[in-house]
Structure 1
Amino acid sequence: MAYDYDQSEDYLFKIVLTGDSAVGKSNLLARYSRNEFHPNSKATIGVEFQTQTMEIDKKEIKAQIWDTAGQERFRAVTSAYYRGAVGALLVYDITRRHTFQNIGRWLEELRLHSDESIVLMLVGNKCDLKEGREVSVEEGTALAQSENLFFMETSALDCTNVQIAFQTVVKEIYNVMSRKVLSSDEQKQEAATLTNGKTVKLHDNESQKAFLERVWCCSGGAVKKI
């Protein structure tokens, strides 16, 4: 499922970290989830994940963050973990231009295997390495604007923007979800009005469009078909 909630109105969001190998995805997650940094961390094999909790509108939001391997030999495996993701951070290393140039490939893969409403953030990591910079802030901003992505530069080493990057994605996912719930409620109210004020309960697997089409058929065209 893209997101879920229980009777206490808690939410669980699946978020993935993706990008080339050694761009710092694992250290970004370690810094965010445990406030740790490992300068000699090994490459991720397959997929690992951590769960973090934050509060929005007095609701407990749980973010299940998946750290995917960037090595080519694992791509067939990790692409399966994109399914159900409602958020993603596409990470490149500002000191290695080719990792920035490969973002288009990762973006294409994400869009192929995830929901169209997924929240995406472009992350230029290792911004503490100013002297080794090969990708400018302006280039990152331009790519993000052209692909309709959020954008931020981070440093897992000195904590720059790490918390705010993840929190921004989680908050935007919550906003998207809230708009969907509001829209669904409005559609249900409209459907109830079409049935002379009687309350109608729609099943989870029944679309609003299919319901209106049946009303149109049964009422001899009294309701305009959409």
Structure 2
Amino acid sequence: MEEFVSEIKVVFLGASNVGKTSIVTKYLRGCFLQNQDSTIGATYNKHTLVHDEKEYPLQIWDTAGQERFQSLVPMYYRGAHVALIVYDITNTDSYKRAKIWVKEIEEKGMTNVIIIFIGNKRDLEGTRTVEIDKSEKYCLKKKITYLETSSKTGYNIKELFQIVGEKLSQATFNDLEKPKMDFERQTYKSDFETTNKNKGCC
């Protein structure tokens, strides 16, 4: 099995309460926390994604969505290979914020970043305010991938990371650099097992 020698930096971006942390929790632990605490700053988890018999060592960064942390977020997405931009399909403001993140990445000149635009909370279809056609047309125009998920039911959570693996296998990363950290790891790095061990998940 061929192995990537560098780590792939995957960053979740989006407004507060759209379910970024819940998606990570569902994928890594297979469970959903009804009362998930808001992320402070950012946390990251290491995970090896296997796709087509290749291993991709991931750094999965979960960033805070609150306004008071927005000035810190560029520090976390700098050097990212994959940006997973999440909004809540029942919250139009979160959709607008997600589009701002796409624009910001474009303006930063991060042309090689794989962007996946995610409408979360598909389980709340009955209270949807952002129509799927609207998001699909936007993503078609931007030439980025669109997917709807539910961190509560698990809908498309595994499929999301299958798409990440597929996109990485097609990418022209000839010499992946290890993601740089511009701050003290012990200050901002928070291992998944440590931060969630007392929350009763699963």
Same fold by TM (over 0.5)? yes
Whether 1:30 aligns to 2:33 is no
Match for 2:16: what amino acid?
S
Whether 1:111 aligns to 2:102 is no
Match for 1:134: what amino acid?
T
Does the 8 A contact of 1:82 with 1:113 survive in 2? no
Whether 1:125 aligns to 2:120 is yes
Task: Give the structure-2-normalised TM-score.
Answer: 0.80
Does the 8 A contact of 1:80 with 1:113 survive in 2? no
Whether 1:19 aligns to 2:19 is no
Distance in 1 of aligned mates of 2:3 and 2:142: 36
Whether 1:92 aligns to 2:93 is no
Does the 8 A contact of 2:4 with 2:56 survive in 1? no
Decide which of 123, 133, 136 is 1:138's aligned counterpart: 133
Match for 1:15: what amino acid?
V
Distance in 1 of aligned mates of 2:3 and 2:114: 25
Whether 1:43 aligns to 2:38 is yes
Whether 1:72 aligns to 2:67 is yes
Match for 2:130: what amino acid?
V
Distance in 1 of aligned mates of 2:131 and 2:94: 13
The superposition leaves residues 13-38 of structure 1 with CA deviations (integer Å, 9 ceiling, x where unpaired) of 10100011000000001001111211
Match for 1:167: what amino acid?
Q
- Find the residue that maps to 1:48 and give its secondary structure: strand
Does the 8 A contact of 2:3 with 2:56 survive in 1? no
Deviation of 1:122 after TM superposition, in Å, equals 0.6
Structure 1 residue runs of 5 or longer lacking an equivalent are 1-6, 185-226
Deviation of 1:111 after TM superposition, in Å, equals 3.0
Task: Give the structure-1-normalised TM-score.
Answer: 0.72
Does the 8 A contact of 2:50 with 2:165 survive in 1? no
Percent identity (aligned)? 33
Structure 2 residue runs of 5 or longer lacking an equivalent are 176-202
Q: What's the C-alpha RMSD, in Å, of the aligned pairs?
A: 1.9
Deviation of 1:97 after TM superposition, in Å, equals 1.0
Partner of 1:193: none
Does the 8 A contact of 1:122 with 1:152 survive in 2? yes
Partner of 1:156: 151
- Find the residue that maps to 1:26 and give its secondary structure: helix
Deviation of 1:106 after TM superposition, in Å, equals 1.2
The higher-RCO structure (CA 8 Å, 6+ apart) is: 2
The superposition leaves residues 103-145 of structure 1 with CA deviations (integer Å, 9 ceiling, x where unpaired) of 2211122334463110001100001112111111111101111
Go from structure 1 to structure 2 and tell me whether the alpha carbon gap of 1:59 and 1:76 turns closer, same or farther (over 3 Å shift).
same
Does the 8 A contact of 1:68 with 1:78 survive in 2? yes
Match for 1:64: what amino acid?
Q
Distance in 2 of aligned mates of 1:125 and 1:46: 21
Instruction: Considering fraction of residues, name the structure with more helix.
Output: 1
Partner of 1:60: 55
